[in-house]
């Protein structure tokens, strides 16, 4: 077990339950232009950066899709939904942050989202002041599964990567944390993701409720 000096969190799907909101917006934007996106399509997108999602869309629909129009439509649907319904934190997120604060353990975010979206989502969830450190997609050259955002978060936390516990819910994120040389922990209730990531993860946990008992007793 490594000596943990800092904890680095993913955001979407780990701290915040945002991924369903993105999928809803993409599905509605596609329907606007006569395209149906099914659950199989969305199943492979967890943890992907925006450019990868757009590449998957084009592969699904063909090059005739007007991506700029699709971006506008999906953004409008997303804003409309979250303005009405808000965004919820994942189970155990607030409790874990409280535990780390009580211990004085530094922590931050490493997210594939653009900073303005990450900050907006945190604000809608009432966590806008919860993370003192953030590394976002627009802060680095490459998003996950490249290690860039994790390495930047570690530098901003003044912690060696090998002493960072990285919490992720997706395979691209888990791969990024592993490539960064961190102690990667996969937090997921999806059996297929848990099985696929078991070889890279230091631990596979069902929820954030399990992190403190496992690492911060």
pLDDT digits (tens, 9 = 90+) for 86-102: 999 999 999 999 999 99
CA-closest candidate to residue 169, choices 197, 139, 128: 197
Residue percentage of the chain with pLDDT more than 70? 96
Structure tokens at 197: 């990531």
CB 8 within 8 A of CB 166: yes
Supply the pLDDT for residue 47: 59
Supply the pLDDT for residue 48: 64
Those residues of the chain that have pLDDT short of 50 are none
Give me the residues paired with residue 164 across strands.
Answer: 6
Supply the pLDDT for residue 67: 86
């Amino acid at each position: 077990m490594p000596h943990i000096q800092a904890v680095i969190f993913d955001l979407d799907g780990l701290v915040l339950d945002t991924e369903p909101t993105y999928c809803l917006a993409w599905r509605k934007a596609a329907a606007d232009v006569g395209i149906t996106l099914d659950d199989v399509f969305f199943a492979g997108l967890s943890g992907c950066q925006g450019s990868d999602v757009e590449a998957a869309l084009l592969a699904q629909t063909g090059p005739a899709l007007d991506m700029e129009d699709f971006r506008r439509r999906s953004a409008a649907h997303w804003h409309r939904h979250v303005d009405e319904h808000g965004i919820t934190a994942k189970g155990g997120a607030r409790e874990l942050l409280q535990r780390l604060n009580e211990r004085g353990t530094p922590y931050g975010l490493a997210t594939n989202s653009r900073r303005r979206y990450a900050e907006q989502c945190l604000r809608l969830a009432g966590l806008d002041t919860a993370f003192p450190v953030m590394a976002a997609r627009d802060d680095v050259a490459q998003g996950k599964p490249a290690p860039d955002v994790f390495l930047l978060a570690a530098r901003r936390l003044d912690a060696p990567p090998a002493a960072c516990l990285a919490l992720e819910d997706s395979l691209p994120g888990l791969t990024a944390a592993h490539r960064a040389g961190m102690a990667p922990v996969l937090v997921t209730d999806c059996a297929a993701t848990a099985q696929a990531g078991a070889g890279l993860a230091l631990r596979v946990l069902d929820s954030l409720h399990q992190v403190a008992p496992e690492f911060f007793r």
